[in-house]
Amino acid sequence: MHYRSSITILTIISAILMTACGGTDNAATESIQQASTASSAAEETLAEQTESQKDSQPEERQDTEENGMGRYKDIITELPPDGYDTKREGVTYPEFEKRSYFSQTAERETFYNVLLPADYSEDKQYPVLYILHGFYDNEDWMARDKVALSQILTNLQLDGEAEEMIVVLPYIFCSKELEYTTGMDAENCLAYDNFVNDLETDLMAEISKNFSVAEGRENTAVTGFSMGGRESLFIGVTHPEQFGYIGACCPAPGLAPGQISPEELSFDDDAEPYVLMISSSNSDGVVGSFPNTYRGYLDANGEEFLSHVMEKTGHDHTSVKPHLYNFLRTLFKD
């Protein structure tokens, strides 16, 4: 599969890419409203493409309910139960540690946050989950108190619903020219698309060097929010030999068509993911129905995936937390 830059994104979604791929709580709603006409036209065109693809696909799909990701369909819940993200009395919750490494891709020192299990030991090897932030954000977004990632994961582990793991929150804006996002344009989007090279060249090696890591695709997962969700899908699809678990929460437009073609949103038979989950909200005023576009392409290509749909959450932590709750419960069980 060949990498194609965001500059090649079709005209029909360029307006949305420029205004609706943000990953912050303070989305540019005025710009989004100005792009609504272009959004509708884009979605209609993409829907027609998806229907055309479906016509050429076989009607039957291999049944994987018992051994594949289908076994998780019944545990997906729109919203988590009360108390899932609150601290419990007498429980030690691990804290994020800020670290840095030199990125050869960006040619600068780059920061990340890491969350280790409470009883982390060098005598044990742990699987790794990478969680990618959205547009305009950084490695601290997922570590904020309002996301409550440490509480969510630790509580799930205490309840026997999640495995121990190392969680890495990287800075995914990767550019030699720009240190941080300066606008929603092609140059900035390319910096996010470039993160895959930093991940492959430096970050994964940094994590393996400094922590006791269980290697292999069966021990490596990636997910992300908004622009980070778009990049997590791209990373998972283009590097299935390394990432066996792939998630995306409210993924931004520009993956397909754009970085890859709709037909390339697929996997070889020997590289199918153990889990592929897309979460989205029907009330998301930023990415709109683009997550459904990706679902449509996957379905048209005969790919199995888990769909998690929320009704009234926003393009912010209110969608991210339910996604994490569901995704974490599927990881590293194969």
> Residue 21's pLDDT is what?
40
Class of domain 6-328: alpha beta
Interior/surface letters 46-58, b for 16+ CB within 10 angstroms, e for the rest: beebbeebeeeee
Q: What is the pLDDT of residue 67?
A: 63
Pair 278, 291: CB distance under 8 Å: yes
Q: Is the pLDDT at 206 greater than 50, yes or no?
A: yes
| CA dist., res. 125 & res. 278, Å (int) | 28
- Does the structure show a pLDDT above 60 at 30? no
Q: Which amino acid is at 88?
A: R
Quote the pTM value.
Answer: 0.85
Residue whose C-alpha is closest to residue 133's, from 289, 252, 221, 305: 252
233-243 residue pLDDT tens: 999 999 999 99
Alpha helices, H only, 95-246: 149-158, 186-193, 195-198, 204-210, 227-238
In 3D space, the residue among 311, 198, 320, 173 whose CA is nearest the CA of residue 247 turns out to be: 320
Quick: pLDDT tens for 62-100: 444 556 898 999 999 999 999 999 999 999 999 999 999
Give the model's confidence band at 166: pLDDT under 50 very low, under 70 low, under 90 confident, else very high. very high
Least confident of 32-36, 78-82, 229-233, 270-274: 32-36
Residue among 313, 306, 312, 310 nearest 327 (CA): 306
pLDDT tens digits, residue range 33-55? 333 333 444 444 444 444 443 34
> Domain segments of the chain: what residues?
6-328
213 contacts 126 by C-beta, under 8 angstroms = yes
**Predicted local confidence at residue 26, as pLDDT:** 42
